[in-house]
């Protein structure tokens, strides 16, 4: 009993530290930019006591962008943790099952074939494409009413390769001037963060993260193997279906707003496990906060490191994630 209480106290302290780090990263992001903003200006803007240019920059530009980074990074990290448990594969992330390719095809379709208000149509079309590709992968992977992790990965790779070919074909056949903006979006971009988009995305992320948290026991049992999970009383196929659909739609919802931001769902869950362990009731909240802080920090680097303009935030996360991926792959090879 005392040991459990001590573990709970330590976990509470860890969560409090992660929450403080996340809030500090958001404050740093809001304060940094061409127009300097102090913490006092931020506090005044949040309390409604300012109507100057600094307050408008905080409330209309930087704070929505930082909050969008928190939602996107947290959702991708949570989705990655779920996929790694579902597939029992430490190299899995939200894009391994074709979610990114489906979102990209949806975004390109909206841009190329909707001449008016294409910018407003890109997010819903990207979300629809991500959801449809996830559903196709799941249906193709079902064999005798069972979708094994191996078949899910295989079908995800096949569908992803097909969608990448469709993307290249659409880009090569597109008229000049239509594609550059979407290509930049496909590389990951938080620059379109507005209060409206944050409020629209918030319920999707909140409901998806809550659903994964409620599935935490099933995720813990799936890590043991499907046979062991079945003997422990888990409805394996139902749990796998729920985890797959929730994690895919959670990733697809944020891709529809931010574009394709890779490696967050791969590296953050591993970092969170080193702090809180592999139990998903602790891992999922920790991964969410660490993912949000990581993406906000990456976006801060993306918009400040280059004097000629902003970099795609997906390029920054890839630069950070690719070496980690190689180290993880090498370590996995040694253990094999």
Instruction: Name, in order, each residue with C-beta under 8 angstroms of 305's C-beta and a sequence gap of 6 or more.
Output: 311
Q: What is the mean pLDDT of residues 103-108?
A: 82
Q: What is the mean pLDDT of residues 66-85?
A: 94
- pLDDT score of 313 more than 70: yes
pLDDT given at position 215: 95
- pLDDT score of 225 more than 60: yes
336: confidence class by pLDDT, cuts 50, 70, 90: very low
- pLDDT score of 334 more than 60: no
* Mean per-residue pLDDT of the chain: 84
pLDDT given at position 134: 84
In angstroms, rounded to a whole number, what is the distance separating the alpha carbons of residues 192 and 94? 22
Q: What value, to the nearest 5°, has the Cα angle with vertex 262 and ends 208 and 308?
A: 120
Q: What is the mean pLDDT of residues 125-148?
A: 80
- pLDDT score of 149 more than 60: yes
pLDDT given at position 331: 60
Alpha carbon distance, N-terminus to C-terminus of the chain: 38
Residue predicted with more confidence, 148 or 27? 27
333: confidence class by pLDDT, cuts 50, 70, 90: very low
Report the share of the chain in percent with pLDDT over 70.
Answer: 89
CA 167 to each of CA 104, 110, 173, 180, 210: distance values in angstroms, whole numbers, following the listed order: 7, 13, 10, 13, 33
pLDDT in tens, 231-280: 888 998 899 889 988 998 888 888 878 888 888 998 899 989 989 999 99
In order, the DSSP letters of 126-147 are HHHHHHHHHHHHHHHH-BTTB-
Across the strands, what pairs with 146?
143
Take residue 24 and report the two structure tokens written for it: 């500090």
pLDDT given at position 242: 92
330: confidence class by pLDDT, cuts 50, 70, 90: low
Residue predicted with more confidence, 6 or 47? 47
- pLDDT score of 2 more than 70: no
Contact (Cβ atoms closer than 8 angstroms) between residue 103 and residue 270: no
Q: What is the mean pLDDT of residues 37-61?
A: 78
- pLDDT score of 1 more than 80: no
pLDDT given at position 60: 86
pLDDT given at position 182: 66
**What does the chain come to in residues?**
336
Residue predicted with more confidence, 231 or 1? 231
pLDDT in tens, 150-192: 788 888 889 988 998 998 888 787 777 666 666 777 788 888 7
User: Does the model's pTM come out above 0.85?
Assistant: yes
């Amino acid at each position: 009993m005392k040991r459990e209480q001590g573990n709970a106290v330590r976990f509470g302290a860890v969560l409090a530290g992660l929450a403080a780090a996340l809030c500090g990263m958001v404050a740093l992001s809001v304060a940094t930019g061409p127009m300097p903003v102090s913490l006092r200006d931020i506090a005044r803007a949040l309390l409604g006591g300012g109507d100057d240019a600094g307050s408008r920059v905080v409330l209309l530009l930087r704070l929505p962008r930082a909050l969008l980074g928190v939602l996107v990074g947290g959702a991708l990290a949570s989705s990655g943790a779920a996929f790694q448990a579902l597939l029992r594969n430490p190299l899995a992330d939200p894009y391994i099952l074709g979610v990114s390719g489906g979102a990209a095809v949806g975004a390109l379709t909206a841009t190329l074939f909707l001449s008016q208000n294409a910018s407003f149509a890109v997010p819903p079309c990207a979300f629809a494409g991500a959801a449809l590709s996830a559903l196709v992968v799941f249906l193709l992977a079902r064999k005798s009413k069972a979708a094994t992790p191996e078949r899910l990965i295989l079908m995800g790779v096949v569908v992803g390769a097909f969608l990448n070919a469709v993307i290249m074909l659409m880009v090569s056949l597109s008229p000049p001037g239509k594609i550059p903006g979407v290509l930049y979006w496909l590389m990951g971009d938080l620059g379109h963060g507005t209060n409206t988009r944050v409020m629209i995305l918030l319920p999707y992320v909140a409901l998806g993260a809550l659903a994964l948290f409620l599935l935490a026991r099933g995720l813990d049992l799936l890590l043991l193997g499907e046979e062991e999970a079945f003997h422990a009383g888990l409805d394996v196929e139902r749990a796998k279906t729920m985890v797959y659909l929730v994690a895919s739609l959670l990733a697809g919802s944020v891709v529809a707003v931010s574009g394709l931001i890779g490696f967050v769902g791969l590296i953050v869950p591993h970092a969170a496990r080193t702090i809180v362990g592999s139990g998903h009731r602790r891992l999922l909240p920790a991964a969410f906060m660490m993912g949000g802080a990581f993406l906000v920090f990456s976006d801060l680097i993306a918009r400040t490191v280059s004097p000629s303009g902003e970099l795609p935030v997906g390029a920054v996360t890839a630069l950070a994630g690719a070496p980690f991926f190689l180290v993880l792959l090498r370590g996995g090879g040694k253990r094999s």
